Amino acid sequence: MATSIDKVGVIGAGQMGTGIALVCAQAGLNVLLNDVSEERVHAALATVNGSLSRQIAKGQLDEAGRQATLDRIGVAAGYDDLAQCDLVIEAASESEDVKRKIFANLRTFLKPETIVASNTSSISITRLASVTAHPERFIGIHFMNPVPRMQLVELIRGIATTDETFESAKAFVAKLGKTATMSEDFPAFIVNRILLPMINEAIYTLYEGVGSVESIDTAMRLGANHPMGPLQLADFIGLDTCLSVMQVLHEGLADSKYRPCPLLVKYVEAGWLGRKTQRGFYDYRGEKPVPTR
């Protein structure tokens, strides 16, 4: 029997965690947001408020709806505050060490029936589940970025995940008004297994001088009808995240076609991670983005 999910804990108040908290609150669920830095949680709440204000400006929401949504999001200062949650979703940075520490530390705080999930875009769910108290109640719930706009959520079962946990996660995704797709627990799952090698290939195309940043992005926007070019998309995702997913694919599948492009590595080493650092394949510091190559 599926567990009814009414109270959700979100660990990580970055772009993904903030988006997850917003869609849960707008679906009528109570949310507790946690991060190592309380400043980031308050910044996330300001982002949520800004997003709701834009919905009011577009006539999609009224003031009462905005207030009701904000009232449903609270701050969890520590993991002990998450004790009564039905579902806890980890949305920390895409690092296996970081995620494993979070799950190991959570063990003593949650009620036994709580479902624990990771929003990882590439890391093995079975491996992450192994450090939790109840691997059978662990699942991958991978939201797409930006969470409020993207319709898809990938559900990934680990080797121990029960049918009940899977059905509960599926019902939770439906409650958010999103569509769930089921992926087996292979490196990078479905979307990133296909998308990231395409982005990596676009970076190789730039690295080898086949085309400029602008010509590659224009070619894929107008030639393949993509809403944004692959290099623009890489900047949006974050080049550090792109690199870590390619590394997971390369190590997990041992196929040379997943080798991260040396130019991607160089950009990450330079700290040019895309939009979040104001520079990646484009420079965002001026009025409009300018290609950096």
Residues serving a catalytic function are 121, 142, 154, 192
- CA-based nearest residue to 231, from 255, 205, 202: 202
Tell me if the bond preceding 197 is cis, omega within 30° of 0.
no
- 229 φ/ψ angles, rounded to the nearest 5 degrees: -65, 160
Contact 9, 32 (CB under 8 A): yes
Residue 232 CB partners (closer than 8 Å, separation 6+)? 217, 281, 282, 289
Strand partners, 274: 279
CA distance 275 to 285: 9
Q: What is the CA radius of gyration of the chain?
A: 19
CB 267, CB 240: distance < 8 Å: no
Those residues whose C-beta lies under 8 Å from the C-beta of residue 138, and which sit 6 or more positions away, are 115, 116, 117, 118, 125, 128, 129, 132, 158, 160, 161, 165
Quickly count: other Cβ atoms within 10 Å of residue 136's Cβ.
Answer: 16
